[in-house]
Structures are given as C-alpha cells and as structure tokens.
A and B are shown apart, each in its own frame.
Chain A
Amino acid sequence: MKFLLIGECREGKLLEYSYELFGFASQAGAETAMLLVGEEGTLPGYGGTVYLADAGKYGEYNPDLHKRLVQAVVERERPDYVVFMHTSYGWDLAPRVAALLKAPQVSEVVALAEGGGFERPCLSQKMRQVVKPQGTPVVLTLQGGAFPALVPGGTPQVQPVDAAGEGKVEFLGYEAAARKGVDLTKAEVIVSVGRGVGKKENIPVIAELARVLGGEVGASRPVVDSGWMDAGNQVGVTGQTVSPKLYVACGISGAIQHLAGMKKSGFIVAINKDKDAPIAGVADVLVVADVMQFVPALTAKLVK
C-alpha cells in the first residue's frame, strides 16, 4: 500500500503538523512519498522521496495549480491514498484533487477502521461515523492531533515536479494574527465563557467566578463572533493555546477546535447541561447543571 502525503509550507517554513502524516502512514504500515510546494530549506527530516515544487513559482497557496502538481505526482507514484491534513490548506485542496482524479474523499479521519474503512467525527464531534471509500486512489484529510507526529529521519531524495496552467485564485498576502488583549498563556486559572452562558449580560457572573479564583476569563469562538467578548480572549486553534492549572469551561460543548487550545490544562472542570457534550472527553470533572444557576452558587460558596 502506498500513501502520497501532502506536506504544507507557510511563509517559507514546513508546518509541524505535516509530520502527523508520517504518523498516520506508519500506523497503516504504508510506503510513502511526499509532495511539498516549498523550497530546499523546507524539506522534512525524512529519507524517502520528496517531490518538490518551487513555492517561488507556484505560490504557497494556489489551489488550481497545486491540484495539477498533485495530479502529476499521482501519475508517477500511483498511490492508493493521497493524504492531506484537515486544515485550511487541506480542506481547500483535497476536494479539488478528488474531483480531478474522480476519486472518493473522506474528510477529517480520526482512526482506521476494520476492513478498509475510516472513522470520522460527525454531528459536531458528538458522534462517529465509519465510511468506506470505493475505488482508488482515495483522498483523505486527517484531523489534527488524531495521529502522532512522527519524524522519520534521514535526508530526502528530491524530485522536482512541475505543472502548467493558470490559477483562478490570486494570493495577495498574509496577515499576522492580532495579538492584543489578555495574555491567557500565563494565567494559572481560566474560566471560559461558551455559548451555553446564553447572553452577553450573563458574562459578569462568569467573570466574578474568575475573579474569586484569581484567574482570567477566556471564551469560545461563538462568544467572540457574536461580539460578547474580545477576540483576544478566544481559546482554541484560531485563538490562544493555554495550559493553566485549572480550566473551567462554562457552557462549552468541546469542539475539537476549542479542545486544541485547552486540553493540556492541569485540571479541567466543565459545566454543561448536556452529559454527552464532547467536553466530557477531556474534563476531569463534569458538572451536569445549568451554568447560570451553578456558577453563582459556586462563587457564593467560595466567597464564604
């Protein structure tokens, strides 16, 4: 079985999570080759074949050309699977490659299942689905963190790869992350507000618990998107990554993108009315309650 792994470069660097592709391939016991649109300096620590397309020529983001580059390598390598990470690059490019190759695509794979199936999350990660792609090659995207990062080691045999054509999407440039607001990375206690808190007017109640515990207030993304709190308070893949001694999640369901930002916390308390909320998977304590009843009661007891 052969996997073609699609690495990712951004701003002249190989993105670390590209190594999760090797972790997945090794779990599956597959032979590998990698395609990278990058530069000599972005090569992975890997002794196999790396097809390198010049990022200077093709751009780090140019999906219409990148899909042709993938196609060119697929024609040479004849892989059984073409594997991407499920990232802004992967979920953008993978369906284009699948359409071009007339290949089945499975998104956000979290595990290999028996008999050639793949396990993936559904219903906001509350449930799991096993699906079986029909025909080869198969295009896959992997959920970040689902497979261990693995640096195979060695020096790659570099093969240049080229493709012709024009891209329909013109890349204009990157914009750095806004770094303003509170630095949650140094907080020992974080009490985070999720959508389950109900409305903006309820936030002071949560903030009061944070104050009593000597901590900072964090937020899930919808709370920021709705303008209840500043973007600087957001925890998660597109916010801050935190690891306080105590993290209290108030009305937060526990989507993978939120968990990515807080699952390394020392001790996690979740307050949620839904016992099956995915946050239970990382929590040390799950309080099944209405957050707006439980939090004031807790604060009152702590003050006493």
Chain B
Amino acid sequence: MKILVCIKQVPDMESRFKPDASGVWFAETDLAFRVNEYDEYAVEQAVLLKEQLGGEPEVTVLSVGADRVVEAIKKGLSMGGDRGVHVQDAAAHLKDSWQVASIIAAYAVGEGFDLILTGLQSQDRGSAQVGVTIAELLDYACATTAVGFEYADGTVTVKRELEGGVKGTVRLKTPAVVTCQLGLNQPRYPTLPNIMKAKKKEVRVIPVAELLHQEQRVAPVEFRAPARKGSAVVLEGELADQVDRLIGILKDKTAVLR
C-alpha cells in the first residue's frame, strides 16, 4: 500500500502580518513557520494506518514550496513518514489552489497511491480546495472533513463532521483522498531518536516547472488587514491597573458585578 500525505508549511498565526512587495500576500521577514495544523492530523492518520497494517504501507510526505518547507517535510518524517518529496517552488504562494492541486496531481498520477491524505484546509490560504481537486484530477473517491477514519481491505470508512455537531458516515474504496479535520486523532510529538532518523530519510527534490502545466484561474489582487468592525476598549499597560479598569467597566456595563 502506498500513502501520500500533502503538507503545507504555514506561518505562526500569532504573528503580525504585513504585505510583501507584490502587495498581494504577506512578507516573510521575522516570521516563524510550522506545519499546517490540519496536516498534522493527516500525517498522524497515515502513520497510525501504517502501524495498523504492520508497517507495510509506505508513507510519502510531500510539500510544495520554497526551500524552508523542507523543515515541515522533516517533521512529517520524524512523525513516521518514510520518504519526502519537495516540489521546489519559491513562488508557490502566487499559485492558486487549482495550480497547487494540479502540481500535486501531476506528481501523484504515475505513483499509484492508494490513499492520499490532506488537511481540510490550510491555515494561511484556507481554500479547502486542494485535497478535493487532487481527487477530481486523479479520478479518486474523496471524503472531506474527517473526524473518524477506519480502513480495512481497501475500504475506508470516514466519519464526516457536519454542522451543529451532527456527523455523517460514508464509505469509499481506495484509491481515495481523505481531507482531515481538527480532532481526528492526537498528532504525536516526534521523539529525539525519530528526529535523528528522519535526517537520514530521502527527500526527493522536484523543480515545480516539471509538474506545473496549468494556468492560474484566480488572481490575487490585494492583501490587507480587515476593517476593524469592533469598538473594543483596549486595556494595555500595568497588570494591576488593567484589573482595576476591567472591574470598573464590568460594574458599569454589566449586571454581573455589584
């Protein structure tokens, strides 16, 4: 069995974001990067399945992006992935979701993966398109928003999370794509020995030009902070003072404190 996990490296969401020179995306200076949260669930699910099947499946961890994404691939390998694929593209952020999906599909088409796991969405772009589009391009079955995953004999049973806490159970046959939702499992922390082992695992580098054959369909034109809707009173400064001011406001504005 061959499993592909697609992971994206995204900036730490607690950072401050400013437009870059293009004006259509964020500047990377001073940002820390990590693995997209949703994709950690995808890696964990692949590794859990590998363990369930006695180590037989081969797990490939792929990321499209600038050289920094190798760090994310290494994290996937230290969680239990077998080999990495880095589709090298310093301008990945300017591709639209359709192009990213086409790039990944162009890689995957000859590889015969039985199962492709992605995140439900990336935290930076958040289009929730790439996984499903890969499935369409490869003509694979696809289930999104997985909070439950079971595999037996070429059949995947996925519990999909719907609105209001309702779930829907679906069954699909491999080859299949499953997009992973938060809470699907408990992503493991890589251990030191596994981090060391990961350093020796193969990471194949493919220049994006070899895989990109599609034109952009959606062009980014602007990037900015949202218009501040709220009118929050912002309390900054010294702790004791903040406490007093908040208590004053609560007494004034709510019936909760007397």
Contacts and interface: CB of A to CB of B under 8 A. Distances in A.
Interface of A: 10, 15, 61, 63-64, 86-89, 91-92, 94-96, 98-100, 103-108, 113, 117, 121-135, 168-178, 188-189, 213-214, 221-222, 224-227, 237-239, 245-246, 253, 266-267, 269-270, 274-276, 278, 280-289, 293-294, 297-298, 301-302
For the complex of A and B, the 7 pairs showing the least CB-CB separation, nearest first, are A177-B165, A104-B217, A168-B141, A99-B136, A225-B183, A130-B222, A95-B132
B212 to A, nearest CB: 17
B236 interface: yes
Among A117, A222, A283, A284, chain B packs the most CB atoms within 10 A around the CB of A284
Nearest to A108: B126
A10 B224 contact: no
B218 A132 contact: yes
A28 B224 CA distance: 23
19 contacts: A91-B121, A98-B98, A105-B98, A123-B13, A124-B13, A125-B226, A127-B223, A128-B225, A133-B218, A134-B218, A169-B141, A170-B170, A177-B164, A221-B182, A267-B250, A285-B234, A285-B246, A288-B236, A297-B239
Contacts of B253: 267, 284
Contacts of B172: 168-170
Contacts of A96: 132, 135-136, 142
A234 B171 CA distance: 28
B256 A245 contact: yes
- The prevalent SS among residues of B at the interface is mixed
Given A121-B126, A122-B124, A225-B183, A132 B221 contact: yes
Contacts of B110: none
B127 interface: yes
A286 B233 contact: yes
Contacts of B256: 188-189, 213-214, 245-246, 267
A298 B244 CA distance: 8
Given A171-B168, A288-B235, A123 B216 contact: no
Among A15, A92, A293, chain B packs the most CB atoms within 10 A around the CB of A92
Contacts of A178: 165
- The prevalent SS among residues of A at the interface is mixed
A172 B126 contact: no
A166 to B, nearest CB: 11
Interface of B: 11, 13-14, 16-17, 24-26, 96-98, 120-121, 123-129, 132-133, 135-137, 140-145, 157, 159-173, 182-183, 186, 216-226, 228-230, 232-236, 239-240, 242-244, 246-247, 249-250, 253-257
A135 B215 CA distance: 12
A293 B239 CA distance: 8
Contacts of A174: 162, 166-169
A131 B224 contact: no
B48 to A, nearest CB: 16
Nearest to B173: A168
A169 B166 contact: no
B137 A175 contact: no
A61 B220 CA distance: 32
Nearest to A61: B168
Given A61-B168, A288-B235, A131 B13 contact: no
Nearest to B120: A91
Contacts of A134: 216-219
Nearest to B236: A288
Among B186, B232, B242, chain A packs the most CB atoms within 10 A around the CB of B232
Contacts of A298: 243, 246-247
B240 A297 contact: yes
B136 to A, nearest CB: 4
A150 to B, nearest CB: 20
A253 B12 CA distance: 13
A301 B243 contact: yes
Given A127-B26, A132-B221, A301-B243, A95 B133 contact: yes
Nearest to A110: B226
A294 B182 contact: no
B221 A131 contact: yes
A120 B239 CA distance: 36
A145 B176 CA distance: 32
Contacts of B254: 245-246, 266-267
A92 B221 contact: no
A48 to B, nearest CB: 25
